[in-house]
Chain A
């Protein structure tokens, strides 16, 4: 059942604004994933979508269903909490793995061990390079 016709104007406008903001923020984060130079920079961009984008779109869903069913529908909070809690864990493990692989690769190439410079390009990081 499509209930958009039964929605009061203020709720429709609020839902539309939340939806557009969330989708735009998510797209900006994903474009950052595509455009930034190295892996350690790229890791930052998509978190824009997993936090702010998720919050806005879940808020749009909450407003829409709460007004439509004339009772508070708040189960979208589950998705917000899940996104905010799990994203840092997954990306921290991923960056740890990437750092481990970079260090191992440098050791194999005979370069001095030490801190990997976050913005240094590793050999496989060239745009046309093969998968490491």
Chain B
């Protein structure tokens, strides 16, 4: 019974995180300015990382944890590089 509840709550959590990814994608699409798009990208990468963790719980494999860790790292690097690019027009001064 509680196992069935966990299965369904995994499904619901995946749908909610998918909607959150959709919100980030919509913000990238709508803009209206470049900094909004960068913020949308940051949100999208974090939400995708959380979705990967949820998929890892669903399948019971530890592989997804490492993918989520890499995604968190690259999301931070991407956001910081894009913000630096907005500030000066070049990433490395």
Contacts and interface: CB of A to CB of B under 8 A. Distances in A.
Contacts of B82: 94
B57 A19 contact: yes
Interface size class of chain B, counting residues whose CB lies under 8 Å from the partner chain: 35 or more
B63 interface: no
A57 B36 contact: no
22 contacts: A15-B6, A19-B9, A23-B20, A23-B54, A26-B20, A30-B23, A42-B27, A42-B36, A42-B39, A46-B39, A46-B42, A46-B43, A64-B57, A76-B65, A87-B46, A93-B87, A94-B82, A94-B83, A98-B33, A125-B32, A131-B33, A131-B37
Interface of B: 1-3, 5-7, 9-10, 12-14, 16-17, 19-21, 23-24, 26-27, 30-40, 42-43, 46-47, 49-50, 53-54, 56-62, 65, 68-69, 72-73, 76, 79-80, 82-84, 86-87
Interface of A: 1-5, 7, 9-10, 12-13, 15-17, 19-20, 22-24, 26-27, 29-31, 33-34, 39, 42-43, 46, 49-50, 53-54, 57-58, 60-61, 64-65, 68, 75-76, 78-79, 82-83, 86-87, 89-91, 93-94, 96-98, 100-101, 124-132
